């Protein structure tokens, strides 16, 4: 049998491995050479720089009913909110002062925001802050809607594929959600010219090692610019309330594998990772992540945007969060940079 160390070496040189080798890496117990190599690759392409994205969670209304997510439409105990156009701009004002040059506008799939509304919001941010990138993360839309947002100035789009296995996808979503459509959305976003982010959850109920290998294969085919992954964390008001949370080790293994497979990708150390372990984000960075996404939403709505339970950073003002993160970055020898942080070589 090929030694683990040789699998890591060949993943480093060829950016690929067999399905069996990937399964072994994903399933390994903290294997130092994997993390050392991943760190080396991050350092090679990005030095000690970590990119900041200011996250603005502007609506927690959602028409979907994903079995894992606390924002699902059937969660009647969720207190719903929407930010106004002006409130969103105020978040950007504060973010800009704090050094953010990317704003990520995220929401549930909220039909009350029409395409014109999204275009207006994007346009006013880009007019006021032409040196900033705007990222949208608002779910599955038609080709023409995506095109309209892009023409209004949106630079990037995040849409996790969640799982590449059609069968597993169906076990996590109601029947009206279609895995084929979701993948088509991602291809449309790329065709239009967005910098595209995809990703998946680790440890969703029933997920197998083969499912995770399928996720890696799907990403190899899609070639996204950004890849966000995080552990599944149960939420009490969902059908998965009593399921186990995803494993920290497995998530970190996958961050490191992603760094080796996609050396230039922008990979966040996610809030979900920070939620299952107090040093989860730092560990994510040491496994090869190079992005953090502090919250810029008004504190009064923070606790209401909860796809999963015990989400961190819901009580802190943006400035506090920013300082806290800087210290965390420094604790692992990294620092944040005031820059848009585009995918190397891509910017329109």
Size of the site for ligand 5AD (CB under 6 A): 12
Considering CB distances under 5 to 8 angstroms, the limit depending on partner class, which of ligand FES, ligand 5AD, none binds residue 308? ligand 5AD
Site string for ligand 5AD, 157-176 (x = CB under 6 A): ---x-x--------------
CA dist 22 and 31 (Å) reads 13
H/E segment holding residue 170? helix 166-172
Site string for ligand FES, 68-107 (x = CB under 6 A): ----------------------------------------
- Considering the rule CB under 6 A, would residue 69 count as an interface residue with ligand 5AD? yes
Judged by CB under 6 A, the residue of 34, 89, 134, 201 near ligand 5AD is: 201
In the bound complex, what is the minimum distance in angstroms from residue 311's beta carbon to ligand FES?
10
Stretch that binds ligand 5AD, among 123-131, 232-240, 247-255, 295-303 (CB under 6 A): 232-240
Neighbours of 340 (CB within 10 A): 16
Taken in order 115, 119, 120, 121, the sign of the CA dihedral is: positive
- Considering the rule CB under 6 A, would residue 233 count as an interface residue with ligand 5AD? yes
Of 7 and 283, CB closest to ligand 5AD: 283
Residue 347 neighbours by CB under 8 Å, 6+ apart: 340
- Considering the rule CB under 6 A, would residue 308 count as an interface residue with ligand 5AD? yes
CA dist 155 and 195 (Å) reads 6
| Coil, strand or helix at 291 | strand
CA dist 23 and 30 (Å) reads 14
CA dist 189 and 226 (Å) reads 13
- Considering the rule CB under 6 A, would residue 299 count as an interface residue with ligand FES? no
CA dist 91 and 322 (Å) reads 14
What one-character-per-residue DSSP string does 9-63 give? Answer: HHHHHHS---HHHHHHHHT-S--HHHHHHHHHHHHHHHTTEEEE-EEEEEE---S
Judged by CB under 6 A, the residue of 227, 325, 329, 334 near ligand FES is: 325
In the bound complex, what is the minimum distance in angstroms from residue 33's beta carbon to ligand 5AD?
29
50 strand-pairing partners? 336
- Considering the rule CB under 6 A, would residue 291 count as an interface residue with ligand FES? no
The residue to which tokens 């800009």 are assigned: 96
Considering CB distances under 5 to 8 angstroms, the limit depending on partner class, which of ligand FES, ligand 5AD, none binds residue 52? none
Considering CB distances under 5 to 8 angstroms, the limit depending on partner class, which of ligand FES, ligand 5AD, none binds residue 325? ligand FES
- Considering the rule CB under 6 A, would residue 141 count as an interface residue with ligand 5AD? no
CA dist 329 and 197 (Å) reads 23
In the bound complex, what is the minimum distance in angstroms from residue 24's beta carbon to ligand 5AD?
25
Considering CB distances under 5 to 8 angstroms, the limit depending on partner class, which of ligand FES, ligand 5AD, none binds residue 341? none
Judged by CB under 6 A, the residue of 122, 313, 329, 334 near ligand FES is: 313
- Considering the rule CB under 6 A, would residue 284 count as an interface residue with ligand 5AD? no
H/E segment holding residue 326? helix 318-331
- Considering the rule CB under 6 A, would residue 48 count as an interface residue with ligand FES? no
Alpha-carbon distance values, 192 to 149, 155, 230 (Å)? 10, 10, 27
Q: Note the residues at the interface with ligand FES (CB under 6 A).
A: 294, 313, 316, 320-321, 324-325
Contact footprint for ligand 5AD (CB under 6 A): 68-69, 160, 162, 201, 230, 232-233, 235, 272, 307-308
């Amino acid at each position: 049998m090929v030694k683990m160390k040789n699998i890591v070496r060949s993943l480093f040189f060829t950016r690929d491995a067999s399905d069996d080798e990937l399964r072994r890496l994903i399933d390994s117990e903290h294997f130092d050479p994997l993390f050392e190599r991943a760190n080396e690759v991050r350092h090679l392409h990005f030095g000690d720089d970590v990119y900041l994205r200011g996250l603005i969670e502007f609506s927690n209304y959602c028409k979907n009913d994903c079995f894992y997510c606390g924002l699902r439409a059937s969660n009647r105990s969720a207190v719903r909110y929407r930010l106004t156009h002006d409130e969103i701009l105020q978040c950007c004002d504060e973010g800009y002062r704090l050094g953010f040059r990317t704003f990520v506008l995220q929401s549930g799939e909220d039909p009350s925001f029409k395409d014109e509304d999204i275009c207006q919001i994007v346009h006013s941010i880009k007019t006021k802050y032409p040196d900033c990138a705007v990222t949208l993360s608002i779910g599955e839309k038609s080709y023409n809607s995506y095109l309209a947002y892009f023409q209004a100035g949106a630079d990037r789009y995040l849409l996790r594929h969640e799982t590449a296995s059609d069968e597993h996808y169906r076990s996590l979503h109601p029947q009206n959600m279609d895995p084929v459509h979701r993948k088509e959305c991602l291809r449309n976003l790329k065709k239009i010219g967005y910098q595209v982010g995809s990703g998946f959850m680790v440890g969703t109920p029933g997920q197998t090692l083969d499912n995770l290998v399928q996720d890696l294969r799907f990403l190899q085919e899609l070639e996204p610019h950004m890849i966000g992954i995080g552990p599944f964390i149960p939420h009490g008001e969902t059908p998965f309330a009593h399921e186990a949370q995803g494993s920290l080790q497995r998530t970190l293994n996958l961050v490191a594998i992603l760094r080796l497979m996609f050396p230039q990708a922008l990979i966040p150390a996610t809030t979900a990772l920070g939620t299952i372990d107090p040093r989860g984000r730092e560990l994510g960075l040491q496994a090869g992540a190079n992005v953090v996404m502090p919250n810029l939403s008004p504190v009064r709505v923070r606790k209401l945007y909860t796809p999963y339970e015990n989400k961190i950073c819901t009580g802190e003002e943006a400035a506090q969060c920013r300082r806290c993160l800087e210290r965390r970055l420094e604790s692992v020898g990294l620092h944040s940079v005031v820059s848009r942080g585009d995918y190397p070589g891509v910017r329109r």
